[in-house]
Every structure is written in structure tokens, then in C-alpha cells.
Chain A
Amino acid sequence: MIAPPLFILAPPRSYTSVITAMIGQHPQMFGFPELNLFNVDLLKELWGKVSEESGGDSNRRHGLLRAVAELYAGEQSSAAITMAHHWAAARENRTGGEVFRELAAKIYPLIAVDKSPTYTISTERLMRILRAFPEARFIHLVRHPIPQCESVLKLNDGIFAYFVNSFDFMEDSVVVDAQIAWHDININILNFLYAVPADRQIRVLGEEFMERPPENLARICRWLGIRDDNDAIEEMIHPERSPFACFGPVAALFGNDPNFLRSPAFRPHKPKVPPLTAPLSWRNDGRGLKPEVAGLAREFGYN
């Protein structure tokens, strides 16, 4: 038996780590690290190469290994990670959905929360979630395109932008421009959510959440039908208490954004939101946001 899981859908660098960890700290929830289980059909494919072009597959198993180690061994030691490898090997021909279901059953009656951002790069991956869990719920988390793109390009020399082909082609040059990924990934999410009943999805603005976390957390709790009392909210304000809010053992160090793992405590603040007409720091040709990107950002409520 499992509770209908919750998935946070967002492009990377959209406060997904901290917000997922906060929701996962609710007494009725369980926040997983990035499991990446719906990136593949069969579990064994998670051990295959994803891209021959720009890599990006070295750390994607860490979240699953850490989760299995924590749930089945009660610790995330090197020995427990070795056990998790065996656990996964024994299930290599199961689908990502079947493996997720097993993990969700293990934590029952808690509700599983997963936020692997790479689900959102293709609707096929998103549809795998819905096929496996037609009753799943989804939070579409959005962040202003300019700071999100700056953050993407800063992390690991912008590898994600290369990975998802976020190229802006001009007559005789090309710019790696993360706003294309911001737009297309959000469109993927919107196209996918078209197939999800309205009562099983909500949209959350990252900046608004960071500024007023208790109100936003309470709103999410009520939507999920779980406790929204002060004790529950107080627990959620402490994402650093999650067993996954730190680096893992050497064989599975990550499973989440390294910046979050380094400093997981939540600090309420009002994020700076630039105007949509602001110049873009990553372009030296003076061009701003594309009309489609600015239009979508306005639709989300940015000015």
C-alpha cells in the first residue's frame, strides 16, 4: 500500500532542493533525494550512459543509493551504499515506476516527495510518472528566468544548458543561452499538466515562497490534505534535519544540489526579482529575454 506521491516539477535551480526538503520534513511526508527513476524505462538503464556529448550521468544514481541505504540499512555508510548497489542489481529489470512504488510502500503511511529536475526535460519522462501513478500530485515550481538562468550557467560551467541543447543560433555564431531551456522546460511541464486533473496540481512561485514560507507551506499542506498546524509548519522550516541534507559517503556523495548539501538550513529572505527587460549578464550582444520567454514569465506573474 502506498500514499499518492507528490512530485515537484521545475527546471533546475528553481529552489527545488530547499522547498522539496522542507515539504519532506512534514510529519506526514518523506522527502527523497533526487531519485531520477523516471528518466529511464528499466532500472538498469540508470547505470548506462545518458549522453555521449556532455556527460552528466556520474551522480544521478547517488540519490537512489542513499535513499535505499537510509531506508533498508538505517544509515548512509559506505557499506550501506554497497548494499544499495546489490538491492538495485536485484531489481535491474524492473521499471522506474515499480522501484518507486516499492520505496513508497516502505515509507507508508508517509507520502513520498521527489523532485528530480531532469524529469522535466522531456514529456516522455513526465508521462512515465503519470502512467505509474495516475493518482500522483504535482507542484509546478517556477522562478524568474533571469536569476534562474544565471544560476544554471554558474553551476559546473553551465553543463545543464549544454546537456539540454539550450543554444541560440545566430548567423555565424552560437550562444549558450539558458533562457531557451527555461522556456522549453516550463512548456514541457505545462503541456504535461494539461493531462493532469486540475485538483492534483498547483503552481508555486519560488520567490513568493522564499519570502513567506509559513503561508505558502500551509497552503501546500491544505491542498495535500495534511496537517497545517504550527508544529507541522515548524518542522518544515528545518530542511537541514532531513537525513539527505548533507553529503553522503564517498561512494554516493550527492543526490541533490551540492550548494544545498553544503548549506541546507533555510534562511527566509526576499529574493531580488529583476524586471523582465533587464540586460542579460550571460550575453555580450546586449540582447534581452526573447519575447516568448518574457511572455511566459508574465503569464506566471512576473513583470
Chain B
Amino acid sequence: MEKRESSDFINKEFTNQNKDVAWLCKAIQDEGYELGPMEAVPNSIEWLNELLRVPDLFEKVAGARSLPVTGEIEALANETAEARKRPFGQSDDNARRSLERLNRLVLELAHPPETPKMAYELVAVIRTSQGNHFLQEYENMDSFKRDMKEHREYSDWGLLVRSDQGKVVSSYLSSLGDREKIGMVDTEPMSTHVTPEGLSPQQSALRDAAIRHYKSNKAKAYISEQMQHVNAILQIGEALKPLFDKNGQPPPNAPLEDIIAERKKTQADIVWLETICLELKNVLTTLTVIEDGALDTLSRDSGRD
């Protein structure tokens, strides 16, 4: 079986998906991205993989084409912000892997007809009813589920792992029922970094857009609420005015309803201010613990010197 390092292109991906290395190279070259000097032979898979190690490829491709980036790309872009400013070889292993994945995904997004989708293996760990364990490769999640269902009397459980992420993408327990769900996305969302299994790139982008729309609405509502809080002190002062005359004395005929309303409002303002104080105290406690820890470390280190 053809193996690869990190997110590298492999020949099997092109042949299995009816794509061609030369087409993709040409599509990239036609765009005229300023890639700088490349060592690999042009129009080769090595050239494409060298491209994945260009630190600022994301800026060059996504910036030039104003791409609507997916959640995973956005997260990887944030994660590699520092690594993209220095030569590839100067980053650590984790940053290099993230950068290669980011570049691979951005090429898939920018040149979808020519770029094969990254292939990965789905490997299941299965425990038999006799208590033995074995590994089994699967084409997709459906074939895993079908297989586990058909052999439920011989297996206790199975975990399907996506090889490129080391993440369990499906599980099966024979003691549970096996009625089918209709949702396309697993209902335990842990991270936006992972493209949910089974979604096409377009569905994934639609999902990201829906989540972004929701978040922007929430942000607008939050800002509007904060604006009200910013004015709270002024509001408190303004609200008290009707209860006092120009000599600072309460008018003799102030309506009881106004006084009650004012009392309730003042109570609510006090609760709000107390909440802010409490949160600030919590932040202060955390900062103090971090500061103490840092000072302890420093004093230990200086003692060692």
C-alpha cells in the first residue's frame, strides 16, 4: 500500500478520483501565484508536495482568489499564524503538519476540479465476543456500520478511527439497538477543526456559513446589550433625577409607583455591578495564581544558576 507523510499528495488519490497531476500543476501555474524558487521538477507530484511546504501559500492563494474559507481552514490559519512568517524548516513538527494540511486544503478549495480530495484510511478496532481484538480497514463509515450490524453476534464492540486525525469517527456496541439516524453529522460536535464525516465540501461550507450567521447575530445582540451597560451609570443618575427637586429634596407628592419602580431598578443595577465585581475577582484570582507560579519558577531557576 502506498504510504505518505502528513498531507502530501499521493498518486493513488489522482488515479482513484480521475484527476491528473499535470492538470493540477498547470492550473496552479496559470494562476500566477508568486511562489518563489522551487527545487522539484515542474509538473510532478514532488513539485506539488514542495508547494505544500511554502509557508505563506495560504496568503498567496486565498488572498489572490478571495476564497470563502471553511471552518477548518480558518482554524488552521489561526494556528499557523506564526509558522507562516518563518521558513518551513524552522517550525516544529506540529506546526509543519498543520501548515501542510492548511496548504493542501486551500488548494482543494481554490482548484476543486483539478485537486483530488485528501484520502485517508478508516481503520476499525474490533473486539470479538470471545474477547479477542483485531484491526480491519473500511472504505467508509457505512460499510463499517453495515459490517458490524451483520456480525453483531460475533462482536462486542468496534471503534472506527480516521487515520489522518487519529479520531474515532464511529463506534458500535452490540448491546445497543441499531436503529438508523437521519442526521448527516455526528451529534457530538467537539471541534470546528474537523470536517464532519460524510459531508461534501459544499455541505461543509454551507454548515460553516450557517454557524457564522448565527454567531454574527449573537455578537450583534451582545454588543447592543453591552452598550446599554456602558451607559448604566449615566442611566442610574438620570433615573434618580425625577425623585429629587433642584434642592436635592424628594418632592412631597412623589408617586409610590415611581418610588417602587426606582427601587427595583436600583436593585437590578446593584446585582449587575456585583456580578461584574465577582467576575473581576475570579479573573484576579486566576492571574494571581499564574503570577505566583511564574515567580516560583523564576526563583527556582535563579537559585540553580
> Which chain A residues numbered 1 to 60 have a C-beta less than 8 Å away from chain B?
50-54
Question: Is B278 at the interface (CB under 8 A from chain A)?
Answer: yes
Residue-wise, chain B 81-123 has the 8 Å CB interface mask toward A (1 for contact) of 0000000000000000000000000000000000000000000
Q: From residue 150 to 164 of chain A, which have CB atoms closer than 8 A to chain B?
A: 157-159, 162-164
Q: Please name all residues of chain A whose beta carbon is closer than 8 Å to the beta carbon of B209 when the two chains form the complex.
A: 174
A184 sits at the interface (CB 8 A): yes
Total residue contacts A-B, CB cutoff 8 A: 111
The contact of A157 among B183, B196, B214, by CB within 8 Å, is: B214
Q: B143 at interface (Cβ–Cβ under 8 A)? A: no
Asked whether, in the complex, the Cβ of B187 is within 8 Å of the Cβ of A184, the reply is yes
Judge whether A164 and B187 touch: CB under 8 Å.
yes
Is there contact, CB below 8 Å, between A181 and B183? yes
| Candidates A78, A163, A194, A250; contact of B189 at CB < 8 Å | A163
Q: Identify the closest chain B residue to A183 (Cβ).
A: B182
Q: Does A217 contact B (CB under 8 A)?
A: no
Count B interface residues, CB 8 Å.
Answer: 40
Q: Is the CB of B187 within 8 A of A251?
A: no
User: Given A162-B211, A174-B203, A184-B183: A123 and B173 within 8 A (CB)?
Assistant: yes
Chain B residues with Cβ below 8 Å from A159 are: 214
Q: Interface size on A (CB < 8 Å)? A: 43
Q: Please encode chain A, from 163 to 199, with 1 for each CB lying within 8 Å of some chain B CB and 0 for all others.
A: 1111101001110100011011101101111110000
**Contact in complex: B275, A250 (CB < 8 Å):** yes
What sequence of 0s and 1s flags, for each residue 183-219 of chain B, a beta carbon within 8 Å of any chain A beta carbon? 1111111111100100100110011011100110110
Interface check B27, CB cutoff 8 A: no
The residues of A that contact B191 with a CB separation of less than 8 Å are: 51-53
Distance (whole angstroms) from the CB of A179 to the closest CB of chain B: 9
Bound together, the chains give a CA A187 to CA B177 distance in angstroms of 9
Q: How far is the CB of A173 from chain B (nearest CB, A)?
A: 7
Please state if A122 and B218 are interface contacts (CB–CB under 8 Å): no
Partner of A53, one of B171, B178, B189: B189
**Other-chain contact of B177, A78, A163, A176, A191 (Cβ < 8 Å):** A191
| Residue contact B274 to A162, C-beta cutoff 8 Å | no
Determine if A65 is an interface residue (Cβ-Cβ < 8 Å).
no
Q: How far is the CA of A185 from the CA of B181 in the complex (A)?
A: 9
A181 to B210, CA, bound (A): 16
In the complex, per-residue mask of B232-265: 1 if CB is within 8 Å of any chain A CB, else 0: 0000000000000000000000000000000000
Contact A53 B184 (CB under 8 A): no
- Most A CB contacts (10 A, CB to CB) among B182, B186, B202, B206 go to B182
**A29 to B179 CA separation, bound complex (whole angstroms):** 33
* Min CB gap A300→B, angstroms: 13
Determine the chain B residues whose CB is within 8 A of the CB of A127 once the complex forms: 173, 176
Annotate A186-224 by CB proximity to B: 1 below 8 A, 0 otherwise.
011011111100000000000000000000000000000
Taking CB atoms, residues of chain A closer than 8 Å to B55 are: none
Supply 6 A–B pairs (Cβ within 8 Å), ascending by A: A53-B71, A158-B214, A167-B184, A173-B206, A174-B209, A290-B182
